[in-house]
Amino acid sequence: MKTQQYFRPTKAMIDLQAIHQNVKNLKEFLQPNVQIIAVVKANAYGHGDVAVAQAALEAGATILAVATPDEALHIRAHFEEPDILILGASPISFAPYAAQQRIILTAFAVDWIQQAAPLLANETLPLRLHIKVDSGMGRIGIRSERELLEIYQTIQSTDHVELDGLFTHFATADDEDTTHFNQQVQFFENCLSVMPFKPRLVHASNTAASLVKDPHLQYDAVRYGISMYGLSPSPYVESILPFPLQPAFSLESELVHVKQIKSGDSVGYGATYVAPTDMWIGTIPIGYADGVIRKLGGQEVLVDGQRIPIVGRICMDQCMVALPKAYAIGEKVTLIGQQGQNMISINEWATKLETINYEVPCIITARVPRIYF
Ligand code: PMH
């Protein structure tokens, strides 16, 4: 990978050793013949798709999954060998490119296959398809055994397409309640039982299903996303994890300006923060255009091992913090990660943002370089 020089001190530090270790632990958790599909969509949940894919493959993953054709092509440009599966819907126009680049597509509509077929007539390689079963997620997929058999027969009777897999996705695997999960498993099992033959790769479980809901539900492969990044799918899953996960993402910057302001002076747009006493203010070059959205106002950061709050409104490219004393320009600021005894986790941000941890690294925008170590 090309190392690029960055001049701004704001960066996301990605611990590839943590990702490697998480995938190794996941691999050991599975039966030896079960493959790991490393879910590296959305730029590997904001961690950087190429570097994460490399670490995951080295640690034992064999298949890479993404959401879109462009993500798949980006991965293929860096990795010639491994299977790449697009989990979402792909446009019909992408079918010949997928065949040429050996990218596996998700199939859930007979029309799609019929319309893609003429575009594949000149291809030497077949287009490989995994049929998606909507067993209760309500997103994409066939919803009855009749639809399954129709799409199966369409694939079998169409030149240049090949059935390679069958899969589903669970909607509630991270909940304590098992009712909906069990219904989904039952429906998927019924689908499998009516298939005239079992395709090469049957897969269903994500992190939560695999690690806590039903560790035996492995089929031929398991699709791991959030656990690979060292995060838990939900607090419930976190409380009963079979082994610890190591978070890989931290977010750092440094003080670019430090000043003393007087009691009554204000800070930031709208002059919403008014100093209650004379105090030290530091400016950090990170803002909402980096994904540190304005809702994070008041969130603490770490400076010199201590928690200190962001004050005033977060600007597009900068924000201000209340310092306990004067610090030198260049003093490190940790927005997510560890400093000394203190830690600010992705989960803490997720709580502040009233969302899930998955969303946090994803919203750190491309302007923030991902630095690997
Ligand atoms: N398989 C599919 C089809 C997915 O959509 C996802 C994650 C995974 C596997 C991996 O799940 P995990 O990260 O819990 O292990 N998809 C999403 C999503 O669409 N929104 O949040 C997570």
CATH code for the domain of 368? 2.40.37.10
Whole-angstrom CA distances from 373 to 19, 247, 345 are: 11, 13, 19
Cβ-based neighbour number of residue 18 at 10 Å: 19
Q: Which of residues 229, 262, 278 is at a domain's end?
A: 229
pLDDT of residue 2: 58
The answer to whether residues 221 and 294 belong to one domain is no
Active-site choice (6, 198, 259, 269): 269
Q: Which of residues 198, 229, 260 is at a domain's end?
A: 229
The answer to whether residues 206 and 302 belong to one domain is no
pLDDT of residue 297: 97
Active-site choice (41, 224, 229, 327): 41
In a domain, 238, yes or no: no
The answer to whether residues 177 and 80 belong to one domain is yes
**How remote is the CA of residue 45 from the centroid of ligand 1, in Å?**
10
Domain housing 343: 249-372
**Region 225-253 average pLDDT:** 98
Which H, E and C letters describe the chain, residue by residue? CCCCCCCCCCEEEECHHHHHHHHHHHHHHCCCCCEEEEECHHHHHCCCHHHHHHHHHHCCCCEEEECCHHHHHHHHHHCCCCEEEECCCCCHHHHHHHHHCCEEEEECCHHHHHHHHHHHCCCCCCEEEEEEECCCCCCCCECCHHHHHHHHHHHHHCCCEEEEEEEECCCCCCCCCCHHHHHHHHHHHHHHHHCCCCCCEEECCCHHHHHHHCCCCCCCEEEECCCCCCCCCCHHHHHCCCCCCCCCEEEEEECCEEEEECCCCEECHHHCEECCCCEEEEEECCCHHHCCCHHHCCCEEEECCEEEEEECCCCCCCEEEEECCCCCCCCEEEEEEEECCEEECHHHHHHHCCCCCCHHHHHCCCCCCEEEC
pLDDT of residue 4: 80
**Region 318-347 average pLDDT:** 98
* Predicted confidence (pLDDT) per residue in 305-316, tens digit: 999 999 999 999
Q: Which of residues 169, 201, 229 is at a domain's end?
A: 229
Work out whether the CA dihedral 275, 312, 364, 345 comes out positive or negative.
positive
pLDDT of residue 214: 97
Count how many domains the chain has. Answer: 2
The answer to whether residues 358 and 313 belong to one domain is yes
Q: Which of 2-6, 8-12, 80-84 has the lowest mean pLDDT?
A: 2-6
**How remote is the CA of residue 152 from the centroid of ligand 1, in Å?**
25
pLDDT of residue 129: 98
The pTM for the full model equals 0.97
pLDDT of residue 132: 98
What is the percent of the chain where pLDDT is above 90? Answer: 99
pLDDT range class, residue 55, cuts 50, 70, 90: very high
* Predicted confidence (pLDDT) per residue in 150-202, tens digit: 999 999 999 999 999 999 999 999 999 999 999 999 999 999 999 999 999 99
* Helices 49-58 and 69-78: angle between axes, nearest 10 degrees: 60
The answer to whether residues 196 and 291 belong to one domain is no
Smallest CA separation from ligand 1 atom 18, residue: 358
Is-catalytic flag, 45?
no
The answer to whether residues 168 and 277 belong to one domain is no
The answer to whether residues 274 and 221 belong to one domain is no
The answer to whether residues 176 and 139 belong to one domain is yes
In a domain, 253, yes or no: yes
Residue 318, pLDDT above cutoff 70 = yes
Per the DSSP assignment, residues forming a β-bridge with 249 are: 14
Pocket of ligand 1 (CB under 6 A): 39, 87, 169, 206-208, 223-227, 233, 358
In a domain, 244, yes or no: no
pLDDT range class, residue 296, cuts 50, 70, 90: very high
The answer to whether residues 316 and 207 belong to one domain is no
The answer to whether residues 193 and 303 belong to one domain is no
In a domain, 3, yes or no: no
User: What does the alpha-carbon distance between residue 147 and residue 132 come to, in Å, rounded to a whole number?
Assistant: 11
Residue with tokens 């995060």, as numbered in its chain = 231
Whole-angstrom CA distances from 59 to 35, 119, 314, 346 are: 12, 37, 39, 24
pLDDT of residue 1: 55
CATH number of the domain enclosing 126: 3.20.20.10
In a domain, 241, yes or no: no
pLDDT of residue 153: 98
**How remote is the CA of residue 285 from the centroid of ligand 1, in Å?**
32
**Region 18-25 average pLDDT:** 98
The answer to whether residues 22 and 81 belong to one domain is yes
In a domain, 4, yes or no: no
In a domain, 200, yes or no: yes
CB 370 within 8 A of CB 54: no
In a domain, 125, yes or no: yes
The answer to whether residues 146 and 267 belong to one domain is no
**Average pLDDT of the chain, as a whole number:** 98
Is-catalytic flag, 269?
yes
User: What does the alpha-carbon distance between residue 213 and residue 205 come to, in Å, rounded to a whole number?
Assistant: 9
